[in-house]
Each structure stands twice: as structure tokens, then as C-alpha cells.
Amino acid sequence: MEDGSWKHGTVRFEFAKELIIIISAFYSPFMMVWDPTYVLIIIGMLLSLAASGMVRSTYAKYSGVRAMSGMTGAQAAERILHSKGIYDVRIEHVSGNLTDHYDPRSKVLRLSDTVFGSTSVAAIGVAAHECGHAVQHQEGYAPLSIRTAIVPVTNFAATLSWPLILIGLLLSQRTGNLLIQIGILLFCAVVLFQLITLPVEFNASSRAITLLKQNGILYENEAKMTGKVLRAAALTYVASAAASILQLLRLIILFGGRNRDD
């Protein structure tokens, strides 16, 4: 994980997961014959594509709605943090589109090009969401603490899970089976991380809406628009977790009876 950045870490987890999905889709005991477990891969990919498309379209729609307060994402973040007595978190600009994240290790809240200086209700919502993570950190929110603690393990698991499975297919039965089982167990750690991420993200969004209204940054109708943006973003985490669970189920179906068959 780069400098404790969860968003960067999530990108790495997603890359590893997609690598598993794409490569393992071509493996089955029947090789060139249709494998019914492909359905699990297809469902997972469709869920991810649908969620990704929804968040892009929703953000694009409300990024064109200027907040009545005229505050930028960075200004809104500063007001929210100060309202919660948080003065030791720096707000920085980071390049990219929706690369926003809160880094708990260095206590830095980084806002992307489309959020930092934007006055849209969408941008302010994203900034407030990241502030929600900072507030979670300050209050010792349990799911966040657990997620932070298992990040190194999850990085390790995401990097090695599929290579071990692939190598296991090429080796002798006894050694190969062992590597495959270890690979599946490591992938379980990735799935666990994504499941723990769900309450963390939903809670941060809930806090964001409340804080935006409490601090007079958004009016009620604007908060409703922001809520739609954050709910769409949260669905990407749900879809990602669902796709990973389906992929894990496929691995278990394909390899779970391998020892018995051998």
C-alpha cells in the first residue's frame, strides 16, 4: 500500500481481482468446452460494469449543479474537519479524476482535479465523504480500524493468490493441490477486506450528508442530489464485493473437489 493510501490499495486489489477473473475464465476442466461456472464470471462483470456506469453518469449529472454556498470541495472539507475539531489533517490536491482519498497514516485528505476546486454538489459530496473517513479515524470507528490493520495482509494476498493457483495447475498433484488451496485461502482475505469495506464506505457517506447539512454547506434539496452521487459510488463497492464472492465461489467449484478426484 502506497503511503497508507486506501484508494491506491483498492486499485491494486481491483487489478488483482480482474486479473483473476480474466485469466481464470479460460481455465476449466473442459478447456474449450462451455463451463457452466462462466455464468458466475459474467454476472460479476455485468454487476461491475453497471455500477461503474451508474457512478459515472450520476457524477456527470450533478457535477454540473453549482452549490448555492459557492464553496469548493476543498473549502467544504476544511469547514467540516474544523467543525469536528480536526485541525491536524492536511488537505492536498492530487492529480487524476475521482482519485480522492483520506490517508490515515499521514493524516492527509487528498482531493482530485474534479473535486478540489469545484463548486458542484457532486464535488462537495465527494470531499465530505473523505472527511467522513477522517472523522471515523478520529473516533476510532471499529470497521475502519480493522480494515487498516489488514491492509498489508490483503496486499500480500491480492498479489499472490492467482499466481499460486496458476502454478499449482502446472505442478504435480500433491504440490499443486497445496498451492491451489493456499491461493484460494489468500483470495478469501481479499474478499474479507472488501466485505469490511462496505460498512466503512456507507458510514462515511451517511456522515457526509449529515455534516454537510449541519454546517450549512448544502441546502436540503442539494443534499438529496449529493446523496444520489454517494449512493451510486457506494454501489461500486457492493458490485466489487459481489463479483469477488462469485469469483471465489467459482474457484471453490473448480478446485474444491480436486483432492478427492485425485
Span 83-126, pLDDT tens digits: 999 999 999 999 988 899 999 989 999 999 999 999 999 999 99
Which of the following is catalytic: 14, 18, 78, 130? Answer: 130
Average pLDDT over residues 165-191: 91
Examine the pLDDT at 190 and tell me if it is beyond 80.
yes
What contacts 56, CB < 8 A, 6 or more positions away?
Answer: none
| C-alpha neighbours within 13 Å on the C-beta side of residue 254 | 26
pTM recorded for the entire structure? 0.83
pLDDT tens sequence across 3-54: 333 444 444 445 445 555 555 554 444 444 567 888 998 999 999 999 999 9
pLDDT at 260: 52
- Is 130 noted as a catalytic residue in this protein? yes
